Amino acid sequence: MRISLIITNDYEVYGNGKGDVDDLIIKPTYDISAALKRWGASQTIFFDVVEYWRFKEAEDSCLFGSDYRFASLMEDQVRAQILEGDDVQLHVHPQWLLAKPVERAEWNINSSHWRTAKLPDGIGDVNNKLSLRGLFYHGKKTLESMIRPVKPDYVCNVFRAGGYCIQPEKDVLQALRENGFRVDSSVCPGRSLDRDPAYFDFRTAPRDLAFWRISDKVDSPNNDGDLLELPVGTGFQSRFCPRRATNLSTMLSCLRRLILPRQVNLDFCKLTGPELIWMTKCLITRLGRHYESSTPLPVTLIGHSKEWTDSAQFEMFLEWASKDTRIDFMSISQWLATYDEK
């Protein structure tokens, strides 16, 4: 059995509207890319196109002066990453749709639009960015216009909801398929959150499937569905301590993990190298137990450039993965091409 290790990077500043693009997106993404390239790996960048629209408007109008180039920095970076073999796909945080500028690294966001499924104009039409059809149409068009000058065959056809808040998803999935999307990667099996304004509940999603076809619900496999769900890997964080248990607080945290393991994402920015290795091994075992597809088994990691801290821990994991003869590093687009071929 071949295994596709898919490393994804949610490319955004903080969801509350604060953060410097250079510090939270550009520099850490180049650091992540450098670490990946040392081990022959690539990343799939989930580009938050909605905050980019706001930065672009501010830049074009010289709202914060001629040296404000947040949008241009993002454009230059993703084009460079594409040329290095990375992938770029659509990510949206709708709270930015009507965001108002405060200063160059702070915006007042609209938290009533936090959830993708709760846009004010519903499914709407392609001319309205406050609707699902319009958001996905213009998001896809923005990325394809940005990247095709350097990669003419580039296609934007994969989506991840901001904060995983895709539910209730029937209209979201309908708008995605109408705009030519093929894959959603918003589900974190076993996890849930109900803390206004955020909401998702994936407790009933399959934990023993590496991917599945979907129709109207992201957490319910449907063999007749025309979209694919490629979930984020999840597991129980219980075996290892934080990076350095140097004080009472972190030692107690260690003890709590052993007694009360918690389910977390396979996150290369938050987990230690040993945790990443152990959880990935567990995930491969669980997903591979009844895996019958001829397509390589996908294992999807997630990270956020704004949370990047430790190259050494991540590279410990990458070194382990590079030595496993079953594992190939792939972007989502590469894996999807393999799926189509098989």
SS3 per residue for the chain: CCEEEEEEEEECCCCCCECCHHHHHHHHHHHHHHHHHHCCCCCEEEEEHHHHHHHHHHHHCCCCCCCCCHHHHHHHHHHHHHHCCCEEEEEECHHHCCCEEEECCEEECCHHHCCHHHCCCCCCCCCCCCCHHHHHHHHHHHHHHHHCCCCCCCCCCEEEEHHHCCCCCHHHHHHHHHCCCCEECCCCCCCEEEECCEEEECCCCCCCCCCEEECCCCCCCCCCCCEEECCCCEEEECCCCCCCCCCHHHHHHHHHHHHCCEEEECECCCCCHHHHHHHHHHHHHHHHCCCCCCCCEEEEEEEEHHHCCCHHHHHHHHHHHHHCCCEEEECHHHHHHHHHHC
Question: What pLDDT, on the 0 to 100 scale, is given for residue 91?
Answer: 98
Relative to beta strand 44-48, strand 106-108 is unpaired
pLDDT of 243 higher than 60:
no
Question: What pLDDT, on the 0 to 100 scale, is given for residue 342?
Answer: 82
pLDDT of 51 higher than 90:
yes
At which residue do the structure tokens 């309205």 appear?
128
Digit-coded pLDDT (tens) for 17-33 = 999 999 999 999 999 99
Report the pLDDT averaged over residues 102-108. 96
Question: What pLDDT, on the 0 to 100 scale, is given for residue 216?
Answer: 96
Give me the domains of the chain, ranges plus CATH numbers: 3-341 (3.20.20.370)
Question: What pLDDT, on the 0 to 100 scale, is given for residue 310?
Answer: 84
pLDDT of 250 higher than 60:
no
Mean pLDDT across the chain, nearest whole number? 94
Report the pLDDT averaged over residues 310-328. 96
Digit-coded pLDDT (tens) for 182-209 = 999 999 999 999 999 999 999 999 999 9
Question: What pLDDT, on the 0 to 100 scale, is given for residue 141?
Answer: 98
Whole-structure pTM value: 0.93
